[in-house]
Amino acid sequence: MVVVVGAGFAGVEAAWALASRGVPVRLFEMRPNVPTPAHTTDYFAELVCSNSLKSNADTSPAGQLKNEMRALGSVVLDIAAQHRVPGGEALCVDREAFGQAITHALSSHPLITIERAEFTPDACTAFLNSGQKVILATGPLTSPDLAAWLAQITGRANLYFYDAVSPTVDAASLNRDVVFAQSRYDKGEGDDYLNCPFDKEEYFAFVEALVSAERVPIRAFEAGGKRDATQDELEGPFLEKIKYFSGCTPIEAIAEKGPRSLAFGNFKPMGLTDPRSGRRPYAALQLRPENKEKTLYSLVACQNRLKWGEQKRVFQMVPGMEKAEFVRYGVIHRNTYVEAPKVLDPILQMTDVPNLFITGQLTGVEGYVESAAMGILTGLHVARLLNGQSIEQPPRSTAYGSLMAHLADDTPREFAPMNINWGLFPEIELKDKSLRREQKLHAAKAGLQDWLERLGS
C-alpha cells in the first residue's frame, strides 16, 4: 500500500498510476473538512482558476506533454476529453462535470481508499517509520502544519512559501546586436550575464511605462487580510510578506519611489561597457542563464506583479528585447515548493528521507497539466519499485525529460516553478525558429517511443 496525500492534479494521477498497476492506495484529502484559501468545492483536481488545460495542439510543448501523459494512462486527460467545452486549440473543460467525474472515478476504483482528513506531520512520520512509501502532492497551498514540517526537514532555505520570480525569455529571441555578454567588472565566468543597455531616453520611457502598467490585484489570503479589504489596505501587508519571505520588493514598487531609483539599484550600470559605444550605458538590465544549456535567461531583479500582457509590452521596451519571447512571466504570489535540485533525487524522493516522495507543483513545476504530469511519473516510478521492475527515466528529449531537467538543474540561480516551454527542450542548432521547433518535437516523439519500449507498454 502507498499513501498519497492531496487529491489535486498530481495526487489523483499518482493514485491512478499506482492503482492501475495493481498497487493499493490510501488517498488523503483534507477538503471539505479543512479548506484551502483558494479551493471552493470538495471535488478532486479542482480547477481553482481558469478552466483551461492549455494547448492540445500536437505542435506545442503542452500538446507534446499531453501526448506523453496519455501514453502513460492519464486519468485527468481522459476525463477532460469527456467533458471538453469549446476553447479553440486549448483543452477547456466544464469544471463542474469534470470535478464530479474525476472524484467519482477515483472514489470508485477498487484499489483506492479515500480518507477525507488533514494529513499531519505525525501521521507522515508514523507511516514512514512503519516502512510505507508516502507521496506528498499537497500543492501550492499545502496546509500550514505540513508546510512547517517540510520546511524543517528540508532546511528552511529549501522550502518556498511565496513565488517572487522574474520573467524568463527564450535566448534565441534576444537581439544579439544590442545585448552584450559581460559580467560586472569582468568578474566571474565572463560571459555568464547578458546585458541590455539603456540610453537615458530609453530608460525614462521604460520607467514611465512600468509604473503606469496594470497590475494583478492582490488576493486577501496572500496578504493575510480580510476578504473585503481594499487593494490599498492589502498593499502594505502584502509587500511586507513578500519582503520577509522572498527578500525582494516588486520592481514597479521600487520604480515608484523615484524615476532614477532603478538606475541606482536593479539596473545600475557600474562595471559594464557597451561594446557598441565603448562607454558605460545609462542603465542596464541584466539577464542570467536559467539552465546549463543557456537556452533560457531570466531578467535579474525584475520580480513584478504586472498583468502578463503588460509585462510583454513593458519589457519589450528594453533595448535588445524588442522581440523577446517570454516562456514565463514574472509572478508574485503564494506558492509552496521545495528547492528540487537540492532536496530531491531523480525519482522525486527526498534525498534525506527515504520513502518520502514529492510530486506536483510542490516539486517546482507549475500549472494543472505539469502538476498532473509529475503525479503520473511519481506513481509510475513507485509502482515499478514495488513491483520489482527497473526504473526507466524519460529521455532528455521528451517533454517529461525537459521538466525533469529543470528540477535537477543545479546551476546557481533562483530556483522557480516552471511551465513546459520550448526553452526547456534540448537545444537544436538551427537558425530557423519553426524548423528548430519541428526538430525538437521530432526528437521528443522519438524519445517517447524509446521510453515506452523500455517501460514495456
Ligand X SMILES: Cc1cc2nc3c(=O)[nH]c(=O)nc-3n(C[C@H](O)[C@H](O)[C@H](O)COP(=O)(O)OP(=O)(O)OC[C@H]3O[C@@H](n4cnc5c(N)ncnc54)[C@H](O)[C@@H]3O)c2cc1C
Q: Which residues bind ligand X (CB under 6 A)?
A: 5-11, 28-31, 36, 38-39, 48-50, 118-119, 137-143, 146, 360-362, 366-368, 371
Buried b / exposed e across 124-137, counting CB within 10 Å, b at 16+?
A: beebbeeeebbbbb
Helices (H), 317-357: 340-343
Name the minimum Å distance from CB 290 to ligand X: 19
Q: In the bound complex, what is the minimum distance in angstroms from residue 219's beta carbon to ligand X?
A: 7
Task: Tell the smallest beta-carbon distance from residue 286 to ligand X (Å).
Answer: 29
Q: Rounded to the nearest whole angstrom, what is the least distance from the CB of residue 45 to ligand X in the complex?
A: 6
Nearer to ligand X among residue 52 and residue 286 (C-beta): 52
Distance CA 23, CA 27 (A): 12
The Cα–Cα gap between 428 and 443 comes to 10
Q: Which is nearer to ligand X, 141 or 350 (CB)?
A: 141
Question: With respect to ligand X, which residue has the nearer C-beta, 19 or 30?
Answer: 30
CA gap 361, 348 in Å, rounded: 12
For residue 202, the Cα-to-chain-centroid distance in whole angstroms is 32
- Beta carbon nearer to ligand X, 272 or 382: 382
Nearer to ligand X, 50 or 387 (CB): 50
What is the enclosing helix (H) or strand (E) of 79?
helix 75-82
The 8-class DSSP code of residue 86 comes to -
Nearer to ligand X by C-beta: 174 or 374? 374
Check if the beta carbon of residue 18 is closer than 8 Å to that of residue 383: yes
Q: Which of 367, 294, 361, 291 is nearest to 329 (CA)?
A: 367
Which is closer to ligand X, CB of 31 or CB of 288? 31
On whether the CB atoms of residues 289 and 413 are closer than 8 A, the answer is yes
Nearest distance from C-beta of residue 70 to ligand X, angstroms: 18
Q: Which residue is nearest to ligand X (CB)?
A: 8
Query: What is the torsional sign of CA 106, 107, 111, 115?
Result: positive
E strand map for 261-301 = 283-289, 296-299
Is 14 or 283 the residue whose CB approaches ligand X more closely?
14
Residue 279's CB is within 10 A of a number of other CB atoms, namely 12
Residue 380 Cα to chain centre, angstroms = 21
